[in-house]
């Protein structure tokens, strides 16, 4: 079972099968390998990951069916059968988790597009945006969860993948530093260093050209200009401070920009040699009892699209509008080169986390954002007109006398409603104003046929009692 308080377990179930938030499944309600089991449960890591992945229910059901086959096997040893009986029980319980809610995925994408549209509206000329499509699966915040090397960065509300702004800034800064270090033109190198320090900011300790025991530069900035350390001080003086300086560009979190391929999948690495525990027990490779347990970690599927955004949070005191645009363009260049070249997240050297900047996707994103804005504007106009109509109607009704208002209400009644109102008149349940309003409608030309019908066919039920009430009010209804 999953570690929970007793009252929480009663509500959510022993395996938290009623938890719907994927972020909680990764960050809190995690199945441990040892706690809650009679023996060490080696599938805990893998089950945790596939439970919260897209299509996890199907994968867990397949695992349960696999164990079912082992349980029924004629040649299965008894202790192996017992292990699979427990494994099937856990898989069946974890498989009760809900499937992805498509409406939440659509809402997350809509929220992303709306945020970018508002960004462009709020910071005209001070932003850069683009859409990147994953060319390989993305492993982001892999070591940031409660499971060892099985974390992922998720939106806490929607449970959708999110690339933190800190990660985006980090890879952009790394790419900038590498470009500065490898630049051979000294003048251009100086300009790149100056731009990087403006964009990313720096602390006073970053300017210290100290070395560690291995004669390596202590700070990244010092490393980037290791052969020309004087450039660092010159750049700081050109900016105007050698103290802490906040970067001019804010790197926003990248959120899903399309529902296309937006899935979290379970990546797996299967060991092909006996585990150390097996070797100590004398179990050889190929033995039925050998525990070859796949290691699982979550990944964002290839083809998923993310919207990236940069904002110039303030102008540099020593620059003008042209300088601001140059700074933004340089930051965008470093960001795009970083995610399309090196990649972002874990295992980038193995082909994970690299993007393709899709200009068509960006154009489609802008068009979709414009359509969304137009739709929201249309709905806002409809609401405004509805409010104006409602207000005008309230003012009109306020100008009417009580009898006139009752007349309008009664005129809207269908035949059955009008007959029911007649019964209320006869029983004396209405006020005098409403009663007079009823007779005003009854004697109108619109109710001519109704009067004829009641006189001829329902005199005792309606007409005669109504005449009696009308006479008391000095109203002639014949």
How many angstroms separate the CA atoms of 451 and 443, rounded? 8
Structure tokens at 20: 């719907």
* DSSP string across 234-272: HHHHHHT-SS-EE-SEEEPPBEE--STT--EEEEEE---
Angle at 70 between CA 64 and CA 71, to 5 degrees: 85
Is there a contact between 440 and 403 (Cβ–Cβ < 8 Å)? yes
Give the 3-state secondary structure of residue 311: strand
Q: Is the pLDDT score of 321 beyond 50?
A: yes
DSSP secondary structure, 323-386, as one string: HHHHHHHHHHHHHHHIIIII-SSS-GGGT-S-EEE-HHHHHHHHHHHHHHHHHHHHHHHHHHHH
Interval 88-134: pLDDT, tens: 988 888 888 777 677 888 888 888 888 888 888 888 889 998 889 99
Of all residues in the chain, the percent with pLDDT exceeding 70 is: 90
Stated as kind and residue range, the H or E segment containing 296 is: strand 295-300
Which of 12-16, 92-96, 450-454 reaches the highest mean pLDDT? 450-454
| Lowest mean pLDDT across 18-22, 33-37, 134-138, 358-362 | 358-362
For the segment 389-435, what is each residue's pLDDT rounded down to a tens digit? Answer: 999 988 988 898 989 999 999 999 999 999 999 999 999 989 999 99
Cα distances from 438 to residues 416, 424, 435, in angstroms, run 14, 10, 5
Q: Which of 2, 27, 346 is nearest to 159 (CA)?
A: 27
**3-class state of residue 24 by DSSP:** helix
Tokens 């070859």: give the residue. 292
The pTM assigned to this predicted structure is: 0.70
* Residue 141 predicted with pLDDT over 90: no
* Mean predicted lDDT score pLDDT of the chain: 84
Give burial (CB, 10 Å; 0-12/13-18/19+) of 226.
middle
CA distances from 12 to 5, 80, 150, 450 (A): 10, 30, 23, 62
Q: Which two tokens stand for residue 102?
A: 């498509």
């Amino acid at each position: 079972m999953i570690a929970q308080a007793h009252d929480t377990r009663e509500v959510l179930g022993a395996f938290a099968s009623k938890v719907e938030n994927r972020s909680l499944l990764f960050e809190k309600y995690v199945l441990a390998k040892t706690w809650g089991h009679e023996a060490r449960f080696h599938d805990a890591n893998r089950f945790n990951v596939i439970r919260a992945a897209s299509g996890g229910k199907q994968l867990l059901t397949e695992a349960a069916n696999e164990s079912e086959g082992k349980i029924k096997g004629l040649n299965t040893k008894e202790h192996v059968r017992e292990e699979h009986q427990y494994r099937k029980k856990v898989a069946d319980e974890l498989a009760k988790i809900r499937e992805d809610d498509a409406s939440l995925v659509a809402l997350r994408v809509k929220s992303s597009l709306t945020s970018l549209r508002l960004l462009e509206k709020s910071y005209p000329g001070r932003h850069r945006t683009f859409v990147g499509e994953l060319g390989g699966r993305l492993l982001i915040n892999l070591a940031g969860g409660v499971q060892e090397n099985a974390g992922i960065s998720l939106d806490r509300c929607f449970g959708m993948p999110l690339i933190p702004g800190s990660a985006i800034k980090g890879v952009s800064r790394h790419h900038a530093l590498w470009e500065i270090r490898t630049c051979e033109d000294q003048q251009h190198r100086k300009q790149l260093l100056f731009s990087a320090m403006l964009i990313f900011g720096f602390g006073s300790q970053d300017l210290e050209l100290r070395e560690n025991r291995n004669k390596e530069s202590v700070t990244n900035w010092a490393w980037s200009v290791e052969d020309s350390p004087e450039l660092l001080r010159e750049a700081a003086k050109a900016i105007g401070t050698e103290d802490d300086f906040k970067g001019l560009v804010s790197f926003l979190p990248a959120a899903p920009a399309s529902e296309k391929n937006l899935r979290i999948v379970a990546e797996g690495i299967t060991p092909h040699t006996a585990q150390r525990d097996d070797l100590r027990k004398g179990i050889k490779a190929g033995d039925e009892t050998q525990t070859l347990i796949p290691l699982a970690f979550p990944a964002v599927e290839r083809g998923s699209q993310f919207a990236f955004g940069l904002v110039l949070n303030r102008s540099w005191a020593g620059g003008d509008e042209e300088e601001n645009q140059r700074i933004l363009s340089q930051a965008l260049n470093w960001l795009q080169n970083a995610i399309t070249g090196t990649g972002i997240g874990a295992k980038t050297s193995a082909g994970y986390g690299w993007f393709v900047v899709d200009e068509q996707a960006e154009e489609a994103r802008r068009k979709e954002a414009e359509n969304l804005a137009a739709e929201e504007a249309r709905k806002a106009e409809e609401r405004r007109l509805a409010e104006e109509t409602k207000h005008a109607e309230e003012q009109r009704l306020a100008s009417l006398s009580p009898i006139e208002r009752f007349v309008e209400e009664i005129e809207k009644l269908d035949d059955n409603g009008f007959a029911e109102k007649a019964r209320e008149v006869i029983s004396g349940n209405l006020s005098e104003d409403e009663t007079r309003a009823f007779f005003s409608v009854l004697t109108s030309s619109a109710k001519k046929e109704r009067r004829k019908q009641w006189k001829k066919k329902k005199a005792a039920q309606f007409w005669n009692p109504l005449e009696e009430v009308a006479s008391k009010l000095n109203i002639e209804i014949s």
